[in-house]
């Protein structure tokens, strides 16, 4: 996707520094692009594809900002210090943390084994906690932390047991972080996305059946897209959201109303 002209963008995040885990595809990449368009320097974390990271960095730099890709497994606690050490060396501080990276194995609850449990909890929930602990010491007042959750945190989705539980942990962490970081003037919120047309959705074992059911139950008659989730993520990173904290913002096109 070609960047839109920065002349038409509100540069209200000029000079801010944003870190996005899982920032080279899907909602993460869409959020990175929108932050860069508003003037933020962006650090994207990735794990597998160097080419996707290079493409993302090149795209972001076209907005006239600094961009950096840092490779590492966000589910590995030892990596968190390395990530924020690199951020501190490159920029000196971080204003925005978006905990977006997600991973998990599909299984019903009685089939969840240690590997499925650890993979989901480490990559999804623990990453938010430990990244926040590393980010906050170099985050000035007015900082923003935004995590990504899903509807599986509070409703049953077949085969989503370990992932849904990890998302529920994210939502609880959001409230605890928000309360304890408020004295530092740091806002913490989570965006709970509905069914979004990404590779993650396509990885569901019953993707076609799920897609038909989602379209049928959603008032708008379709699934969402990455940009529609990223728009809300980025709004929560702006000063306009300064009085919002500890909230789980559901962005699902009305799916959860039925």
38 Cβ neighbours under 8 A, 6+ residues apart: 9, 10, 11, 12, 13, 14, 234, 238
List, in sequence order, the alpha helices (H) in the chain.
26-37, 50-61, 77-91, 114-120, 127-135, 161-181, 199-202, 207-217, 226-235
**Residue 64 tokens, joined:** 């006239």
β partners of residue 145: 97, 188
| Catalytic annotation, pick one of 63, 134, 167, 255 | 167
Q: How far is CA 209 from CA 37, 55, 153, 158, 204, in A?
A: 37, 33, 21, 12, 10
219 Cβ contact list (under 8 Å, min separation 6): 253, 254, 255, 257, 258
CA distance 184 to 212: 45
Residue 74 tokens read as 């966000």
160 is catalytic: yes
Active site residues: 160, 167
């Amino acid at each position: 996707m070609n960047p839109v002209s920065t002349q038409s963008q509100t540069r209200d995040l000029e000079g801010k520094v944003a870190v996005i885990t899982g920032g080279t595809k899907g909602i993460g990449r869409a959020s990175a692009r929108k932050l860069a368009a508003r003037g933020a320097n962006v650090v994207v974390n990735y794990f597998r594809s160097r080419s996707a990271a290079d493409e993302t960095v090149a795209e972001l730099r076209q907005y006239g900002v600094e961009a950096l890709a840092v490779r590492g497994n966000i589910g590995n606690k030892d990596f968190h210090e390395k990530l924020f050490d690199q951020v501190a060396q490159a920029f000196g501080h971080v204003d925005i943390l978006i905990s977006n990276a997600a991973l998990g194995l599909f299984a019903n609850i009685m089939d969840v084994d240690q590997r499925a449990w650890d993979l989901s909890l480490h990559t999804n929930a623990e990453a938010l906690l430990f990244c926040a602990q590393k980010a906050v010491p170099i985050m000035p007042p007015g900082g923003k932390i935004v995590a990504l959750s899903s509807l599986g945190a509070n409703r049953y989705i077949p085969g989503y047991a370990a992932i849904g539980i990890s998302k529920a942990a994210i939502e609880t962490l959001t409230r605890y972080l928000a309360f304890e970081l408020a004295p530092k003037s740091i806002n913490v919120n989570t965006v709970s996305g509905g069914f979004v047309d990404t590779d993650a959705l396509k990885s569901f074992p019953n993707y076609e059946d799920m897609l038909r059911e989602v379209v049928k139950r959603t008032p708008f008659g379709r699934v969402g897209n990455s940009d529609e989730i990223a728009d809300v993520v980025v709004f929560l990173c702006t000063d306009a959201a300064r009085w919002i904290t500890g909230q789980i913002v559901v962005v699902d096109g009305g799916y959860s109303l039925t």
